[in-house]
Amino acid sequence: MACAPSLTDIHGRTIRYLRISVTDRCDLRCRYCMAEQMTFLPRRALLALEEIALIAERFVARGVDKIRLSGGEPLVRRDVSELIRRLGRMVGHGLDELTLTTNGTRLAEHAGALVDAGVRRVNVSLDSLDPDRFRFITRHGDVAQVIAGIRAARDAGLRVKINAVALKGLNEDELPALLRWCVDEDLDLSLIETMPLGAVDEDRTDRFVPLTAVFDRLAGQFPLVRDTHRSGGPARYWRVEGSATRLGLISPLTANFCDGCNRVRLTTEGKLYLCLGHEAHVDLKAALRDGGLAALDAAIDRGLGVKPARHDFRIEAGAAPAVERHMSVTGG
């Protein structure tokens, strides 16, 4: 089949980055991400791993050069290692980078296989180093298990970036210590503003911390210099002078980053969402099953035609989430 045209949306932005949620399930229940009692998709509704691979390969054929696997927690899906190996074979053959976002609970057992498959970098969600606080945020997680996974990944040769959501009254006082720990452990750190996705058991307004304030505090304690590094995502970077640690800020509310958006997201049930903060999507699973690659290309093109110019995230007391679906459905 001839190569289809490259991926350019109606606003002239070229899509180079595909994020894939391989499962909506997770073995943690972080308070800003999920409700304590979640209803997950039935397994019959999910894309088969073979279908995920076919869709990913088509995106690479059309110009995507970065793929991130996420969830939920991607490493809880059975046989996900087979998918990672298959996608890894495209690295250097159209795909520049295959990476993963994980909560780290299963990273120690998978780190070596990830490296063997061609993964060179992973993001690990870690919002606190304090065992009791970590357990409260995740509802039952063991921070020692996650730290062991982070160190195993680093020792296996993976570059590790810590993702931490800044949360007022929970971890904002700990963020300087977290950055110091990352410097000591030779890790990168990205801080993220909480986003209004899906109903949770708390009012997100009570936890929202603008990263402008967080950065001012960190800049008073660390020698931060602006870094021109680009990861393909929305973060703006600084480097802690005298170290290899980069600090990234992802600020969807205080510093809108939509003008340069190069991303689309594939859910575990095969829906292609064009924006994290909107419901606009196309059903790639139905297209692939009903009409093969030609129908898949046509569905992707329809999606590019409805990609919004920007998200509509707002944090206001009592306000409904921007969208009803949780982050774990769309993929982080």
Question: Which residues sit in the known binding site?
Answer: 19, 26, 30, 32-33, 68, 72, 101, 125, 161, 195, 258, 261, 263-265, 275
332/69 Cα distance (integer angstroms): 9
Which has the closest alpha carbon to 303: 322, 284, 276?
Answer: 284
Residue 204 contacts by C-beta under 8 Å, 6 or more apart in sequence? 32, 194, 196, 315, 321
Binding-site annotation, residues for S-adenosyl-L-methionine: 32, 72, 125, 195
192 DSSP β-pair partners: 165, 250
Kind plus residue range of the DSSP H or E element containing 111: helix 107-117
Q: With beta carbons less than 8 A apart as the criterion, state whether 67 and 331 touch.
A: no
Binding-site annotation, residues for GTP: 19, 68, 101, 161, 263-265
Binding-site annotation, residues for [4Fe-4S] cluster: 26, 30, 33, 258, 261, 275
Report residue 171: phi and psi, to 5°. Answer: -135, 0
Would you tell me how many other CB atoms lie within 10 Å of the CB of residue 220?
A: 9
CA distances from 235 to 3, 124, 171, 278 (A): 31, 15, 20, 20
266/77 Cα distance (integer angstroms): 16
